Amino acid sequence: MSLALQVTSLSYAYQKHKVLKDVSLQLEKGKFYGLLGPNGAGKSTLFSLLSQLLSANDGDISVNGYDIKSAPRKALASMGIVFQQSTLDTDLTVRQNLQYHASLHGLSSKVAEQNIARELVRFSLEQKQHEKIRNLNGGHRRRVEIARALLHDPAILLLDEASVGLDMPTRDSINEHIRYLCKERRITVLSSTHLVDEIQTDDHLILLHNGKILLDAPCASALLTHQFNDVKTLYRQLIAGDAQ
């Protein structure tokens, strides 16, 4: 089995408050994983640890075969990250933001221009490339962020509540696009959300609650095992069970 991401016994605490408790995950290459959990479940902390903005108290993380302790830069180079909060420079244009990201990943000018052109087409942003970010709507900004995260051809794409704050049609369009990319480019996607309706039955579902993994299985088989008809009921029952 070829793994894009392996997390082993990961724990993290903000001072005395334990946010992640012995979390283990194995993500196969080319698959879509939905990380579902209520606010405060530990999703953003997990993403901060994966992206090395935080350092874990305990446990190991391996990205695309690279251990983040022994090969942190190779691990980071294998990841594309879209943070919950927008991280675009609003004073710069779409193209300038993409150029900045390409330079931070050490892409040569030629490769950077090729990849920027490719992503602008893929996300239908050619017409917007010279517009400043501050003039774009939320949906277009998200598209730019995802395009930027894919610019250096990562093996795994981390999306931390990428659709938060967007209206329903924009959310659906972005989610469809990401699933299409997952199939087309064979990249692994780990997409966190607190919105149950973003999970589809053919996704692999990871349910995080109070810093613990409650479920890690293909969504369809989880529904079958727990004998529920929809993800919403499954989610509510498992969360309620854990709270007791």
- Closer CB to another protein, 164 or 217, in the complex: 164
CB of 176 to another protein, least distance (A): 25
CB nearer to another protein: give 85 or 127.
85
Task: Pick the closer one to another protein by CB: 32 or 83.
Answer: 83
Question: Can you tell me the distance from the alpha carbon of 46 to that of 58, in angstroms, rounded to the nearest whole number?
Answer: 13
Nearer to another protein, 54 or 239 (CB): 54
Q: How far is the CB of 104 from another protein (least distance, A)?
A: 4
CB of 209 to another protein, least distance (A): 18
Q: Please report how close the Cβ of residue 240 comes to another protein at its closest, in angstroms.
A: 27
Q: By the criterion CB under 8 A, which residues form the site for another protein?
A: 14-15, 19, 44-45, 48-49, 51-55, 73-77, 79, 81, 83, 85-89, 91-92, 96, 99-109
Residue 9 vs 55, nearer CB to another protein: 55
Query: Please, which residue, 48 or 234, has the CB nearer to another protein?
Result: 48
* Phi, psi for residue 124 in degrees, rounded to 5: 50, 50
CB of 11 to another protein, least distance (A): 14
DSSP class per residue in the chain:
--EEEEEEEEEEEETTEEEEEEEEEEEETT-EEEEE--TTSSHHHHHHHHTTSS--SEEEEEETTEETTTSHHHHHHTEEEE-SS----TTSBHHHHHHHHHHHTT--HHHHHHHHHHHHHHTT-GGGTTSBGGGS-HHHHHHHHHHHHHTT--SEEEEESTTTT--HHHHHHHHHHHHHHHHHH--EEEEEES-GGG--TTSEEEEEETTEEEEEEEHHHHHHHHT-SSHHHHHHHHHHHHH-
- CA separation for the pair 68, 152 (Å, rounded): 18
Kindly state the greatest CA–CA separation across the chain. 57
Smallest gap, in angstroms, from Cβ of residue 48 to another protein? Answer: 4
Q: Which is nearer to another protein, 4 or 205 (CB)?
A: 4
Least distance in angstroms from the C-beta of 55 to another protein: 4
